């Protein structure tokens, strides 16, 4: 009888232990996981002719893209969003072997927007959006000569955990018309973020062509950050989390760049920036191949809830860069050049 009671007791203990282990395993499922996500934005200066001299090394387009791609391939990042990846994309992408998930080029100037993603995480549902307002042909940084805008995608940062990932290139130039166009770019992006049919977390990277601290005319705070509900990694880490055009430091450790990483929590995913770095990728001689700094941000994230994916996922597909597409783009560019001849004089 005593042995029977011992056996029953042992069975009960084992049952409780098994239940506890099973409950713990359930409690530590995907909805309670977390991790680090390293994101980078980089303007690769892939312009024909002009791009060859942007940086300290003068190198023609295709060799330069290969050299820069080899440097980028060694970057410790999960996702890289690039701008000005125009005419030499294939050479750049061929060297990015550590990033198995890539977008396809939308074409050279004047067909393509120069925006692409290199990722170690799966990317889906790519769509490209041209700015509704751009300024400049012979003036204002020639923004009208490409379909400049933003690229939208969905990234699976962990199993079954999806976020929305944007890459943008805002209108350049400091003249009043370019500033007005840039403000409208921010409005358009805000509208896209706020009218999504879901509440997934968001990361936005890119060349914003403006800074918060010096953006009195562009006003990135009231035209983008506040209305879209975004947080800026540099502000959080280097400006004491204060969103103001007035600096909150005596001497900065990390300067504010026009190349930015912003984020928005949602869909059960919460981000916290833990590190930011601005730097130029350099070769063994210390030379650089672009006039922009890379901005790399490490984001800590927690998953408090798994939000089901209620849309079909589509992998990236090649863009139409054939003869007719290029012919139409060239024809449009020629019309713009002819109509803007007066600004040459």
Q: What is the pLDDT of residue 32?
A: 66
Only one residue has tokens 């927690």, namely 302
Helix (H, G, I), strand (E, B) or coil at 127: strand
Distance (Å, rounded) from C-alpha 41 to C-alpha 105? 17
Contact 250, 207 (CB under 8 A): no
Q: What is the pLDDT of residue 15?
A: 34
Helix (H, G, I), strand (E, B) or coil at 340: coil
CA torsion through residues 154, 94, 82, 113, sign: negative
Q: Collect all residues with Cβ–Cβ distance below 8 Å to 180 and sequence separation of at least 6.
A: 133, 135
Only one residue has tokens 């562009």, namely 218
End-to-end CA distance of the chain: 108
Distance (Å, rounded) from C-alpha 288 to C-alpha 87? 19
User: Which DSSP state fits 151?
Assistant: E
Q: What is the pLDDT of residue 49?
A: 82
Distance (Å, rounded) from C-alpha 167 to C-alpha 186? 13
Distance (Å, rounded) from C-alpha 160 to C-alpha 157? 8
Classify each residue of 24-51 as buried b or exposed e, where b means 16 or more C-beta atoms within 10 Å of its C-beta. Answer: eeeeeeebeeeeebbbbbbbbbbbeeeb
**Closest of 297, 85, 112 to residue 205, by C-alpha:** 297
Distance (Å, rounded) from C-alpha 71 to C-alpha 95? 9
- The strand pairing partners of 273, in sequence order, are 299
Q: What is the pLDDT of residue 6?
A: 42
The pTM score is 0.89
Backbone angles phi, psi at 264, to 5 degrees: -145, 130
Distance (Å, rounded) from C-alpha 294 to C-alpha 314? 29
Give the sheet arrangement for strand 149-158, strand by strand: 123-130, 149-158, 161-169, 202-207, 259-264, 231-232
18: which 2 tokens?
Answer: 């098994």
Query: How confident is the prediction along the chain (345 residues), in pLDDT tens digits per residue?
Result: 444 344 434 333 333 333 333 333 333 445 568 899 999 999 999 988 888 888 898 898 999 999 999 999 999 999 999 999 999 999 999 999 999 999 999 999 999 999 999 999 999 999 999 999 999 998 888 999 999 999 999 999 999 999 999 999 999 998 999 999 999 999 999 999 999 999 999 999 999 999 998 876 889 999 999 999 999 999 999 999 999 988 887 667 788 999 999 999 999 999 999 999 999 999 999 999 899 999 999 999 999 988 888 899 999 999 999 999 999 989 988 988 898 887 877
CA torsion through residues 199, 203, 206, 209, sign: positive
Contact 276, 238 (CB under 8 A): yes
Number of other residues whose CB lies within 10 A of the CB of residue 74: 10
- The strand pairing partners of 260, in sequence order, are 206
- Domain locations along the chain: 31-344
CATH top-level class for 31-344?
alpha beta
**Closest of 325, 122, 119, 138 to residue 205, by C-alpha:** 119
Q: What is the pLDDT of residue 26?
A: 33
Q: What is the pLDDT of residue 186?
A: 97
The widest CA-to-CA distance across the chain, in whole angstroms, is: 108
């Amino acid at each position: 009888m005593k042995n029977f009671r011992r056996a029953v007791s042992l069975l009960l203990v084992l049952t409780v232990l098994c239940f506890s282990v099973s409950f713990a395993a359930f409690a530590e499922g995907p909805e309670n996981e977390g991790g680090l996500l390293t994101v980078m934005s980089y303007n690769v200066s892939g312009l024909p002719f002009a791009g060859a001299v942007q940086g300290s090394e003068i190198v023609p387009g295709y060799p330069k893209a290969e050299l820069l791609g080899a440097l980028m391939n060694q970057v410790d990042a999960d996702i890289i969003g690039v701008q000005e990846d125009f005419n030499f994309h294939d050479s750049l992408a061929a060297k990015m072997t550590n990033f198995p998930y890539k977008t396809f080029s939308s074409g050279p100037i004047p067909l393509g927007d120069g925006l692409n993603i290199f990722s170690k995480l799966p990317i889906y549902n790519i769509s490209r959006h041209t700015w509704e307002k751009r300024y400049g042909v012979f003036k204002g940084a020639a923004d009208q000569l490409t379909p400049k805008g933003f690229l939208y995608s969905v990234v699976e940062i962990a199993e079954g955990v999806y976020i929305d990932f944007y890459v943008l290139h805002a209108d350049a130039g400091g003249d009043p018309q370019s500033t007005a166009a840039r403000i409208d770019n921010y409005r358009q992006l805000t509208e896209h973020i706020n009218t999504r049919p879901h509440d997934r977390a968001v990361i936005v990277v890119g060349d914003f062509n403006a800074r918060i601290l010096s953006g009195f005319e562009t006003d990135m705070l009231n035209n983008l950050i506040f209305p879209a509900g975004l947080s800026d990694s540099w502000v959080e880490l280097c400006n004491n989390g204060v969103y103001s055009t007035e600096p909150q430091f005596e001497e900065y450790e990390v300067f504010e760049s026009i190349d930015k990483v912003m984020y928005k929590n949602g869909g059960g995913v919460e981000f916290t920036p833990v590190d930011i770095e601005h730097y130029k990728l350099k070769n063994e001689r210390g030379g650089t191949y672009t006039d922009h700094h890379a901005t790399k941000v490490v984001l800590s994230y927690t998953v408090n809830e798994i939000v089901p994916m209620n849309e079909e996922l589509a992998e990236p597909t090649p863009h139409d860069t054939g003869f007719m597409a290029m012919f139409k783009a060239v024809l449009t560019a020629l019309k713009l050049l002819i109509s803007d001849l007066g600004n040459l004089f």
